[in-house]
Amino acid sequence: MTETSQPSPEKGSRLKRQIEGIIWTVFVVLLIRAFIVQAYTIPSGSMEDTLLPGDFVLVAKFIYGVEIPYTHLRFLDFYKPRRQEIVVFPFPLDPRKDFVKRCVAVAGDTVQIVHKRLYINGKPVHEPYATHKDPQEYPPVFVPRDTIAMKEYTQAWIQRQYLRNPGVRDNFGPVVVPPGHIFVMGDNRDYSLDSRFWGPLPVKYVKGRPFIIYFSWNPEPPLSQFWRKIRWRRLFKIVFWA
């Protein structure tokens, strides 16, 4: 009579511990990704030269509170986006895409752009990070001259009537940022689809704030020149205060 071999209790216990370890590892990774830190890749040049296409950044998601995944409900949101901070958020017109822009104004601020120069509450803003790469200047859609015209202009802006109108790129406003919203713009001002076109951004949409470039890949050089594709000087560059 042959004896059938039975798995030893010790092997079964070891396998159970390994499975539990994998499950806990996946759980911790998902927890970190959902609430603490998440990696993003910069897809376009709208934030040049602060962030470049091919920059891989880590985003601190807990800065503006902890959000319940797949909702806009958050708690511990004591800190709100401030002027000049770079923020990550889902594009309001297509939430499947994440955008990276700079908050230039908060609720209650009056925003105006005159000849490509940004004014907040009637004062010009010093913006060493902003670039203008197109010498052409588009004339304004129209310039509000009184309170009624300003309200009409603001309402049209909130309703995204200027979405495809280049006239708001270089000369815009004035508008007042509504409560619970911020005004965001790309640092590459002439090539950025931002609040000038699609309106104010709800604060609840903000996911977090980039704090470091952990890798940077230049798509232009051929793959045969691999060493040139890596932007070595940008590795581990801090952008939290950029």
Residues with catalytic roles: 46, 101
User: Residue 15, exposed/middle/buried by CB under 10 A (0-12, 13-18, 19+)?
Assistant: exposed
Q: Do 105 and 182 touch, CB atoms closer than 8 A?
A: yes
* Short-list 204, 241, 182, CA closest to 77: 204
Torsion angle (degrees, nearest 10) of CA 85, 94, 191, 176: -60
Environment class of residue 118 by beta-carbon count within 10 Å: exposed (0-12), middle (13-18) or buried (19+)?
buried
